[in-house]
Structure 1
Amino acid sequence: MLLLGIDIGTSSIKVSVVEADTQKVVVSAHYPEEESLITALQPGWAEQSPEMWWNCMLQAFDRCKASKKFEAKDITAIGIAYQMHGLVLVDKDQNLLRDSIIWCDSRAVTLGNGAFDTLGQEFCLSHLLNSPGNFTAAKLAWVKQNEPELFAKVDKFMLPGDFIAMKLTSQITTSISALSEGIFWDFKTNSISSELMEYYGFDYNLIPEVKPVFAEHGKVDSKIAELTGLKAGTPVTYKAGDQPNNALSLNVLQPGEVAATAGTSGVIYGVSDQLAYDPQSRVNTFAHVNYTETEKRLGVLLCINGTGSLNRWTKNLFSNAVSYQQMNSAAEKINIGADGLQVLPFGNGAERMLNNRLVGAHFCNIDLNLHTQSHIFRAVQEGIAFSFRYGLDIMRSNGLNPNVIRAGKANLFLSDLFLEAFVNSTGVPVELYENDGSVGAALGSGIGAGIFSAPAEAFSNVKCLQLIEPTITTAYEPVYQEWLNLLNKQD
């Protein structure tokens, strides 16, 4: 029995076909080879074309089919993971109205802050568990305010994964988890927030049909079956944001369990059973994939916008003359602390953990007679690790104290140097797993289709590859304190 997983990333779209019985990957592919374009029409803006996501998904699926390892018609269920917080708008004929305003776009901060002030801090934090900040609801309000003629044509708003499901099935649905990440969900009334809808002047008809994460979200229609080779009627049975999906993939489902990623952005994601919130909304709480009204499972999310994106920028700065592996090897030859060179990795939009400030990326204390590109490589990875430490300290102050963090062996977690800096600056061991968002989405579809009786069964074969424990925390602590002092000077 075959399952199809689709991961709508910021950098590329990945597709995997997974054998349900063994949980083994039959074939995977991604597209494009180079990282996808983010359009910035103004400073602090970030947009992508949803049609680009769709076309890249088709290209990636074609690559999978070209392997001749499976028949597309044998796929029995489809799951979708997607970059969180993006806004996609369509008219009544499901025509796309504009490019998506994606997760790292900062244009709506003032509109979110306005809702926070007017509705009241206590109400927003106790009911929404977040400030409306820079999330999907505020992005929708920006369109309403600044593009009124376009807004008048909007039939439904969606998250990125909802759009891909719509393209497959011609049906538009969402979930409590998706609405909570958009800051539309009232956790006290367990319903869409009437106060937020009224404040922004949104019509309830804009909201798609709400279904569980693990449920049928439509069936592949005949035109798409002809285009893709999928069997008409194949159900989409799972949709989740990339970070809840990553946590699911790492079997992080119960209170106290914690996952991390360090791709384009950096995330620590912990599970709680409490309707808790950060008083400053620097970390955010959403409904996890297994959230129900009777068994509350909340995902507490720390997001750092510029982690892998900074590492990529650094690589591109040297005209791609070095590979990531070469960068890592060169950085390992430099002393801890990069001989005084410090980097603040905050150049990819407003940072929620810094109260939605646009701090920017900073390279500080450069000594022209001492520092080389190898120093830059090390300082970048240390600066990223220190930003994780900073955010984890916020999470600790709100009661989340992980004994271990699970991560996929991918992106920055492929770097021994980054792992060393991460565990020794945070003081928390890391368990590494073979982990992939598209594979997690595929297995999620198996849960939604009833092929697996529970999430634990779907990920029963997940095994730890490596445990990295802190060994030299005393060497990193003074360097972190210097980094923290530098950050505090940006206030």
Structure 2
Amino acid sequence: MLLLGIDIGTSSVKVAVVDAATQQCLAAVSYPDTEREILARQPGWAEQQPLQWWQDAKQAILLAHATQRYNPQDIGAIGIAYQMHGLVLVDEHHHVLRDAIIWCDSRAVPYGEAAFEAIGPERCRTHLLNSPGNFTAAKLAWVKEHEPEAYQRIDKVLLPGDFLALQLTGEATTSISALSEGIFWDFAAHQLSEDVFRFFGFDEALIPPVQPVFAEHGRLRASVAEELDLAVGIPVTYKAGDQPNNALSLNVLRPGEVAATAGTSGVIYAVTDQLFVDQLSRVNPFAHVNHSAEEVRLGVLLCINGAGSMNRWVKQAVGRELSYPEVNQRAAQVPAGSEGLLCLPFGNGVERMLANEPVGAHFLHLDLNVHTASHLLRAAQEGVAFAFRYGLDLMRENGLHPTVVKAGKTNMFLSEVFAQAFVNATGLAVELYPTDGAVGAALGAGIGAGTFATPEEAFHNVQRLQLIEPNDEAAVYEQTYQRWKAELLARLPQPEAALTKM
């Protein structure tokens, strides 16, 4: 049997077709070729059109078929990964009511903070495991206040993956993992959060039926099957946010294991079997794909909004004609430390790990007689690596001490400069694997369909490509990081002020 994986990213939709028998990827494509726009109608806002995701997904599937490396009729299950924390609203006819408010949108921060104070910090930390902050529930509260006509027409509140499954099958479902990332889930009571729904005045009927992550979430509609040259009735058997899915794709399922990704955002995702809480809610635990009431499995997520987005911005500013391999080659021409040039890569919305402070992106200590465009390119990649180090130290403060990180050899980890800077800055070895979100979603579909007896079985043929360990530049990076950290801290409030704000 073949498995189809769909990954709804911020910049594009990726599709992979995997042979379940060998776990080998037969075809992998993305659509469109250029990065999709984020709509920012006001500073701090970030929206995308859900129907554009759907059109892009269909185009990507047809492009995969066009490779002629498999028979589309042999596809037996579909899995979906998606950008987390997005808000998609549909009416009773499944029509989209407004553009999706996506993960890096900052407008809902005050709503989440108000809920945190009203519900109570201690109750939030023990039941929600997070401050409601800028997550999906707070975004829905913003719509309720500012767009009451649209709010009154809502039939279902969906995460982006729920929406794509709805388009494929005509059925709306969600999962505990999805609800936890939206801060709709009470971990102590193992149900929808009465506190959150009461405070915001939400009706629980807005939430679709809750299914396990690995379960049937509907079957392919005949009209869609005909349009996409697929068999009628194929089940969607897996849905997960991009970071839990990335961890799944790397076989990171057990306590102590850690996954990383550096796409539009940068993430470290550490699995734990404890009900983890950061007092400042700077790193956030969500239900992992294999979490249950009987067996706690949380993914502690550190997110850096300005990762690949920073890399992309500098690439475009330096020269739009540059490819990413050319960016990486030019960055490699500059010595470690970028000859004193520093970059704070925080220009893609407020950063959760910085207590929602709008620090913004900065280049610092620019010397017009020394620094070139290549220095900007390297400093940006180093700045993202330093942001990972800063966030990792927050996780260490909370008792998580990873020794090895697994990542797919994709996105910024394709850059030797970034990958080595990450290792030298954090002190952690990195194992790179030939996988990505779409492949992970495909294998997740196989788990949900029962093709694999266990998640571990789905990944037993996935082999490590590369091990990167700290080298003799580590001392340079430690010195540079301390300078970088001092510049960042100078732009942040005191910890006491941050705690009061959260």
Q: Same fold (TM over 0.5)?
A: yes
CA distance in 2, matches of 1:321, 1:220: 40
Which digits, 9 at most, give the CA deviation of each residue in 1:419-461, with x for residues without a partner?
A: 2211111111000111111111011000001010000000111
1:346 aligns with 2:346: yes
Offset at residue 462 of structure 1 (A): 1.3
Offset at residue 64 of structure 1 (A): 1.2
Q: Detail structure 1 runs of 4+ shifted over 4 Å in the superposition.
A: none
Offset at residue 345 of structure 1 (A): 0.1
Which digits, 9 at most, give the CA deviation of each residue in 1:287-312, with x for residues without a partner?
A: 00000111110000000001111111
Counterpart code for 2:298? L
Offset at residue 322 of structure 1 (A): 2.7
Partner SS, residue 253 of structure 2: coil
The number of equivalent residue pairs is 491
For 1:432, the equivalent position in structure 2 comes to 432
Unaligned runs of 5+ in 1: none
Once the two structures are superposed, the pairs formed by residues 41-52 of structure 1 within 5 Å of their partners are 41-52=41-52
For 2:172, the equivalent position in structure 1 comes to 172
TM-score normalized by the length of structure 2? 0.97
CA distance in 1, matches of 2:131, 2:192: 15
CA distance in 1, matches of 2:375, 2:14: 33
CA distance in 2, matches of 1:373, 1:231: 51
1:39 aligns with 2:6: no
CA distance in 1, matches of 2:237, 2:480: 47
Which digits, 9 at most, give the CA deviation of each residue in 1:218-275, with x for residues without a partner?
A: 0011121222122111100000000000000000000000000001100000000000
TM-score normalized by the length of structure 1? 0.99
Counterpart code for 1:373? A
Mean Cα displacement is larger for which, 303-312 or 330-339? Answer: 330-339
Which digits, 9 at most, give the CA deviation of each residue in 1:300-349, with x for residues without a partner?
A: 00000011111111111123243322222222232222121111000000
For 2:154, the equivalent position in structure 1 comes to 154
For 2:30, the equivalent position in structure 1 comes to 30
CA distance in 2, matches of 1:271, 1:66: 38
For 1:297, the equivalent position in structure 2 comes to 297
CA distance in 1, matches of 2:375, 2:118: 47
Partner SS, residue 209 of structure 1: coil
Unaligned runs of 5+ in 2: 493-502
For 1:477, the equivalent position in structure 2 comes to 478
Give the conservation status (yes or no) of the 8 Å contact 2:129–2:277.
yes
Give the conservation status (yes or no) of the 8 Å contact 2:23–2:462.
no
Once the two structures are superposed, the pairs formed by residues 446-461 of structure 1 within 5 Å of their partners are 446-461=446-461
Once the two structures are superposed, the pairs formed by residues 11-410 of structure 1 within 5 Å of their partners are 11-410=11-410
Counterpart code for 1:181? E
CA distance in 1, matches of 2:484, 2:149: 47
Offset at residue 469 of structure 1 (A): 0.8
Give the conservation status (yes or no) of the 8 Å contact 2:269–2:300.
yes
For 1:487, the equivalent position in structure 2 comes to 488
Counterpart code for 1:68? Q
CA distance in 2, matches of 1:447, 1:419: 31
Partner SS, residue 174 of structure 1: coil
Give the conservation status (yes or no) of the 8 Å contact 2:302–2:391.
yes
CA distance in 2, matches of 1:435, 1:72: 21
Offset at residue 387 of structure 1 (A): 0.2
Counterpart code for 2:485? L
CA distance in 2, matches of 1:65, 1:338: 44
Offset at residue 475 of structure 1 (A): 1.8
Counterpart code for 1:78? I
Partner SS, residue 322 of structure 2: coil
Partner SS, residue 390 of structure 1: helix
CA distance in 2, matches of 1:327, 1:436: 21
Partner SS, residue 465 of structure 2: strand
Partner SS, residue 105 of structure 1: coil
CA distance in 2, matches of 1:91, 1:277: 36
CA distance in 2, matches of 1:329, 1:18: 32
Counterpart code for 2:484? W
Offset at residue 471 of structure 1 (A): 2.1
Partner SS, residue 210 of structure 1: coil
Task: Tell me the percent identity.
Answer: 62
CA distance in 1, matches of 2:324, 2:67: 28
Counterpart code for 1:474? A
RMSD (CA atoms): 0.9
CA distance in 2, matches of 1:26, 1:423: 31
